[in-house]
Amino acid sequence: MPTPDFPAFLDRSLAVLRSEAPAHHAELAVLLGARGLCCEVDGRSVALCFDGARHALRPPDRREAVSLCTDRRTILDLVDGELTLLDALLEERLWLAGSADAVTRFDEALTCYLDGAIRCPSLPPLLEEFRRAGLEVTLLPAAEAHR
Protein backbone atom coordinates (compact mmCIF):
# COMPACT_ATOMS: atom_id res chain seq x y z
CA MET A 1 0.00 0.00 0.00
CA PRO A 2 1.41 3.46 -0.87
CA THR A 3 2.62 5.68 1.95
CA PRO A 4 0.23 8.62 1.55
CA ASP A 5 1.70 11.08 4.02
CA PHE A 6 5.07 12.35 5.05
CA PRO A 7 4.93 11.25 8.71
CA ALA A 8 4.43 7.61 7.67
CA PHE A 9 7.22 7.90 5.08
CA LEU A 10 9.57 9.52 7.61
CA ASP A 11 8.91 6.88 10.24
CA ARG A 12 9.41 4.00 7.80
CA SER A 13 12.52 5.56 6.26
CA LEU A 14 14.11 6.06 9.68
CA ALA A 15 13.34 2.43 10.58
CA VAL A 16 15.11 1.38 7.37
CA LEU A 17 18.03 3.67 8.20
CA ARG A 18 18.28 2.19 11.71
CA SER A 19 18.30 -1.33 10.27
CA GLU A 20 20.47 -0.87 7.17
CA ALA A 21 22.71 2.10 8.09
CA PRO A 22 22.78 2.09 11.90
CA ALA A 23 25.79 4.41 12.20
CA HIS A 24 23.88 7.11 10.30
CA HIS A 25 20.79 6.62 12.45
CA ALA A 26 22.96 6.92 15.58
CA GLU A 27 24.55 10.11 14.24
CA LEU A 28 21.08 11.55 13.59
CA ALA A 29 20.22 10.82 17.22
CA VAL A 30 23.21 12.88 18.33
CA LEU A 31 22.55 15.73 15.89
CA LEU A 32 18.80 16.11 16.50
CA GLY A 33 18.53 14.82 20.06
CA ALA A 34 15.46 15.04 22.26
CA ARG A 35 14.42 18.54 21.09
CA GLY A 36 14.37 17.40 17.51
CA LEU A 37 12.61 18.80 14.53
CA CYS A 38 9.06 19.82 13.62
CA CYS A 39 8.21 18.93 10.02
CA GLU A 40 5.16 20.27 8.25
CA VAL A 41 4.69 18.72 4.82
CA ASP A 42 1.53 19.31 2.81
CA GLY A 43 -0.15 20.79 5.90
CA ARG A 44 0.50 17.74 8.09
CA SER A 45 2.82 18.31 11.06
CA VAL A 46 4.90 15.87 13.05
CA ALA A 47 7.80 16.23 15.45
CA LEU A 48 10.82 13.97 15.14
CA CYS A 49 12.93 13.46 18.22
CA PHE A 50 15.33 10.89 19.57
CA ASP A 51 15.35 9.17 22.93
CA GLY A 52 18.82 7.77 23.06
CA ALA A 53 19.29 5.66 19.95
CA ARG A 54 15.58 5.38 19.09
CA HIS A 55 13.63 7.84 16.96
CA ALA A 56 10.08 8.81 17.81
CA LEU A 57 7.38 10.77 16.02
CA ARG A 58 4.92 12.76 18.10
CA PRO A 59 2.57 15.70 17.73
CA PRO A 60 4.52 18.98 17.64
CA ASP A 61 4.46 21.05 20.81
CA ARG A 62 6.79 23.96 20.02
CA ARG A 63 9.68 22.47 22.03
CA GLU A 64 11.44 21.47 18.82
CA ALA A 65 14.77 23.13 18.08
CA VAL A 66 13.99 23.53 14.36
CA SER A 67 10.80 23.87 12.35
CA LEU A 68 10.60 23.00 8.68
CA CYS A 69 7.67 23.61 6.33
CA THR A 70 7.47 22.38 2.74
CA ASP A 71 5.51 20.13 0.39
CA ARG A 72 5.92 16.70 -1.21
CA ARG A 73 6.88 18.13 -4.61
CA THR A 74 9.77 20.06 -3.08
CA ILE A 75 10.99 16.97 -1.21
CA LEU A 76 10.93 14.96 -4.44
CA ASP A 77 12.66 17.75 -6.39
CA LEU A 78 15.40 17.80 -3.72
CA VAL A 79 15.77 14.01 -3.80
CA ASP A 80 15.85 13.99 -7.62
CA GLY A 81 18.58 16.64 -7.66
CA GLU A 82 16.36 19.12 -9.51
CA LEU A 83 16.55 21.58 -6.60
CA THR A 84 19.18 22.42 -4.00
CA LEU A 85 18.33 23.13 -0.38
CA LEU A 86 19.54 26.72 -0.85
CA ASP A 87 17.34 27.19 -3.94
CA ALA A 88 14.35 25.71 -2.09
CA LEU A 89 14.88 28.26 0.67
CA LEU A 90 15.45 31.18 -1.72
CA GLU A 91 12.39 30.25 -3.80
CA GLU A 92 10.35 29.97 -0.59
CA ARG A 93 9.45 26.36 -1.30
CA LEU A 94 10.95 25.38 2.04
CA TRP A 95 11.01 27.35 5.28
CA LEU A 96 13.31 26.75 8.24
CA ALA A 97 13.11 28.37 11.66
CA GLY A 98 15.40 27.95 14.64
CA SER A 99 18.57 29.30 16.17
CA ALA A 100 21.65 29.45 13.95
CA ASP A 101 23.14 26.50 15.83
CA ALA A 102 19.95 24.43 15.53
CA VAL A 103 19.61 25.13 11.78
CA THR A 104 23.27 24.22 11.27
CA ARG A 105 22.69 20.94 13.13
CA PHE A 106 19.60 20.32 10.96
CA ASP A 107 21.71 20.79 7.83
CA GLU A 108 24.26 18.30 9.19
CA ALA A 109 21.42 15.91 10.11
CA LEU A 110 19.87 16.16 6.64
CA THR A 111 23.25 15.43 5.04
CA CYS A 112 23.71 12.47 7.39
CA TYR A 113 20.21 11.15 6.60
CA LEU A 114 20.75 11.40 2.84
CA ASP A 115 24.24 9.89 3.08
CA GLY A 116 22.79 6.94 4.97
CA ALA A 117 19.73 6.65 2.74
CA ILE A 118 21.78 6.08 -0.40
CA ARG A 119 23.33 3.06 1.34
CA CYS A 120 19.96 1.45 2.16
CA PRO A 121 18.67 -1.04 -0.42
CA SER A 122 15.15 -0.83 1.04
CA LEU A 123 14.83 2.94 0.71
CA PRO A 124 14.35 3.35 -3.08
CA PRO A 125 11.14 1.27 -3.10
CA LEU A 126 9.87 3.22 -0.08
CA LEU A 127 10.64 6.51 -1.83
CA GLU A 128 8.84 5.26 -4.94
CA GLU A 129 5.75 4.51 -2.82
CA PHE A 130 5.90 8.07 -1.45
CA ARG A 131 6.22 9.42 -5.00
CA ARG A 132 3.30 7.32 -6.34
CA ALA A 133 1.07 8.21 -3.39
CA GLY A 134 1.70 11.88 -4.14
CA LEU A 135 0.59 11.36 -7.72
CA GLU A 136 -2.57 9.64 -6.52
CA VAL A 137 -3.32 12.47 -4.09
CA THR A 138 -2.60 15.10 -6.74
CA LEU A 139 -4.61 13.41 -9.48
CA LEU A 140 -7.62 12.39 -7.40
CA PRO A 141 -9.31 15.83 -7.14
CA ALA A 142 -8.87 16.48 -10.87
CA ALA A 143 -10.32 13.08 -11.74
CA GLU A 144 -13.30 13.68 -9.47
CA ALA A 145 -13.88 17.10 -11.04
CA HIS A 146 -14.57 15.45 -14.41
CA ARG A 147 -17.34 13.22 -13.07
Q: Give the model confidence (pLDDT) of 42-66 as tens digits.
A: 999 999 999 988 999 999 988 899 9
Tens of pLDDT, residues 3-45:
468 999 999 999 999 999 999 999 999 999 998 999 999 999 9
Q: What is the pTM of this model?
A: 0.84
Distances (CA, A) of 69 to 16, 62, 82, 143: 23, 14, 19, 28
Complete domains list, the chain, with CATH:
6-135 (3.30.1050.10)
> For the chain, percent helix, then strand, then coil, each to nearest 5?
55, 20, 25
Element housing 100 (H / E): helix 100-117
CB 6 within 8 A of CB 140: no
Q: Say yes or no to pLDDT of 143 above 50.
A: no
Given this model, what pLDDT does residue 113 score?
92
Tens of pLDDT, residues 83-112:
988 999 999 999 999 999 999 999 999 889
Given this model, what pLDDT does residue 18 score?
96
Mean pLDDT, residues 118-144 taken together: 75
Q: With the CA atoms of 98, 85, 33 and 21 taken in that order, what torsion angle do they form, in degrees rounded to the nearest 10? A: 180
